[in-house]
Structure 1
């Protein structure tokens, strides 16, 4: 009986030192970034039990999370981002991290936008781990140098560069037909046309008439016009497959969030040497962002100590620098040394640090709006991109009607 009791106590202690972490990081660089967090936890004698769910933009992971919570098997830690954090907090499902935030002075250390995203009704309910910039144009320096080309700063320059490359037999622009990737390209074009202020107004105020604005129409028309610079026929390829293709030289340019840079780095490629990084034409000085965050699911508070340790570690300066260097994102803290960042990361971190005036929350990556509006925008934009007979004005009318219905 005594031996059995001791075994039970030992097993319980071991279980209590394990955190079940649900996320959607499954590419090479994402796995490496997750491993860096797991290694930091191991230093605290806490085991990261991995629950990675494949699927770009977290579509599959959100479905699994809901299913697990409803079945009574919620993970200890879950990747949640944007307005969805508030949805889960409102249900009383998230552990409040106020003590950790106060002890570590997160309010001072974090960028104001990040601090705001971490809170719900004056309580800290999530730990941010990295800021992604989405309006990135990646290009192949050796190809540009061969033809004496420079990274395009506006769309007129882009058209000239793309035409030159196409005449030389080089595919100018990489693109997948996967809906969220098409919509990610669109939101960068929308930002280029509208600027951050109107972009935020469009998604936050939910005035249906804003969707009828000429700038929205121009962004849609540019999305379709860019098809002539893409490989034909377009295939539905995952973003990490696109990264491998870009690394092989399948195309000269690619618009994608900076998780792509993390993936290119995982192949042994270096920024400014093997690939270049610039802002999408028309968006220099702007930051279309997504912030990766983790929330702690509270049940009986049996894992509170381990969950708080995770939060404390994930936001610390050493872990921030290590993790974001691998992931391609940048630290959520404004007290790090920018000299430790590569040129592309440094530009992202410094631009974001200029404040809300230059910031635009991603639609596709759950920063700007609720799930219903996000899904509607992705569906309408993808349909428009795929079916050439649909006029841009019809998409605008549909989005206006959806915005009105969901408001």
Structure 2
């Protein structure tokens, strides 16, 4: 069914229900081109149900600015209907008693059957839905320039770290930069968590980076992960510190660098520049991680409201976010994939199709794990401390692997 048909059906259902129309105020940080387009699509769906959409977009800082504004609104007793929040931060807000219960919508729309259990659990607090998921980003991607690989005589995307380093040596010998990287702690950790997953596998990743188990954090597998991570650093260029992620992606796009470890928002950059997957850029799971999937799920937490019309609008917003129509149009714009299981993927590119297949497969096998780098796995305090320890190790070659491991293990105890 096409989007406009779905919107018409929604309007008809709304007319029959005789429901109360209300205002829905949505705090989000979707301000870039594709994201803003997607927010406009959601607004259209809400307006088709007779509701008034009040846009509350806060740019900058990957959502940090938005969270500051949100806190002041909630503390003053005037929360928005919905706010873009993800991961354990959802549970932290729910524990404050300020989030609305979405179980009625979730039951009517059959969310339990439409979401992998591991994702559904992130949207719940004490068994009740309090947030609606929008999409899934895969974080453990390796992007490459086919032009650079060809120049360097690299025959295919590397599947193991041994193959990766052999390819990096060839790219270096060809006078090009093997690894495009930017110098921000979340970029360092995006690479680090893919290395831990590739070296140790999904169970080790869960034990070390999600459960923060001290035995795993001080193990030989973690030692090997840090040695591999440090070796990757030696293939980056001296200008990497302070570089934004999209500028690193541009280096791959322009044939200046061979590889980049980055989530699939990098694909959004390639697509926006008119590049074609398989021809102008290549995508593959990071070395050693083909049977695993680190997820980053954008979502909207819903706040407790007093007005009946506003409550109805909020419930309709939650239903619209999880609707197949919005899941399709949003993710086509964003470079991510639908979070709903069983979605048709014929309009999506080959990288998204691979991502979707692996998302479904790993949800069954236990290889679907939350991204620490992107706020999906541990408390914000622990995440910040571990990121700092990992970046210190990445940026200072004088820190030994043994000391790096100790520092990360200590950071993991941060409450």
Distance change >3 Å, CA 190–CA 26, structure 1 → 2? farther
Distance change >3 Å, CA 146–CA 32, structure 1 → 2? farther
Distance change >3 Å, CA 243–CA 40, structure 1 → 2? farther
Secondary structure at the aligned position of 1:153 is classed as coil
Does residue 112 of structure 1 match 2:117?
yes
CA distance in 2, matches of 1:301, 1:202: 45
Tell me which residue corresponds to 2:302: 296
Check conservation: 1:28, 1:266, Cα contact below 8 A.
no
Superposed CA offset, 1:112-158 (max 9, x none):
22222221112111101111100001111233234442111111111
Check conservation: 1:29, 1:263, Cα contact below 8 A.
no
Match of 1:279 among 285, 288, 291: 285
1:180-219 correspondence runs (5 A): 180-219=186-225
Shift of 1:43: 3.0
Tell me which residue corresponds to 2:18: none
TM-score normalized with structure 2 length: 0.88
Superposed CA offset, 1:28-73 (max 9, x none):
33333333333333433432513233113x3333333223322444
Secondary structure at the aligned position of 1:338 is classed as coil
Distance change >3 Å, CA 30–CA 216, structure 1 → 2? farther
CA distance in 2, matches of 1:242, 1:301: 47
Tell me which residue corresponds to 1:383: 392
Does residue 243 of structure 1 match 2:249?
yes
Check conservation: 1:94, 1:298, Cα contact below 8 A.
yes
Tell me which residue corresponds to 2:344: 337
Tell me which residue corresponds to 2:237: 231
- The CA RMSD over aligned residues, in Å, is 2.0
Shift of 1:405: 5.4
Shift of 1:287: 0.3
Tell me which residue corresponds to 1:396: 405
Superposed CA offset, 1:356-398 (max 9, x none):
5111211111111111110111010011111111112112222
What stretches of structure 2 of length at least 5 have no aligned partner?
1-20
CA distance in 1, matches of 2:139, 2:110: 28
1:296-315 correspondence runs (5 A): 296-301=302-307, 303-315=310-322
Check conservation: 1:22, 1:53, Cα contact below 8 A.
no
Deviates more, 1:312-321 or 1:297-306: 297-306
Check conservation: 1:127, 1:311, Cα contact below 8 A.
yes
Check conservation: 1:289, 1:359, Cα contact below 8 A.
yes
TM-score normalized with structure 1 length: 0.90
CA distance in 2, matches of 1:288, 1:145: 29
Secondary structure at the aligned position of 1:65 is classed as helix
CA distance in 2, matches of 1:238, 1:64: 24
Shift of 1:217: 1.8
Superposed CA offset, 1:319-356 (max 9, x none):
11111111111111112123343211111111121225
Secondary structure at the aligned position of 1:353 is classed as helix
Does residue 28 of structure 1 match 2:33?
yes
CA distance in 1, matches of 2:26, 2:255: 36
Count of residue correspondences:
390
Tell me which residue corresponds to 1:12: none
Tell me which residue corresponds to 2:136: 131
Distance change >3 Å, CA 402–CA 239, structure 1 → 2? closer
Secondary structure at the aligned position of 2:288 is classed as coil
Tell me which residue corresponds to 2:5: none
Secondary structure at the aligned position of 1:339 is classed as coil
CA distance in 2, matches of 1:404, 1:228: 29
CA distance in 2, matches of 1:227, 1:72: 47
Does residue 80 of structure 1 match 2:89?
no
Secondary structure at the aligned position of 1:20 is classed as strand
Match of 2:376 among 353, 367, 370: 367
Check conservation: 1:25, 1:54, Cα contact below 8 A.
no
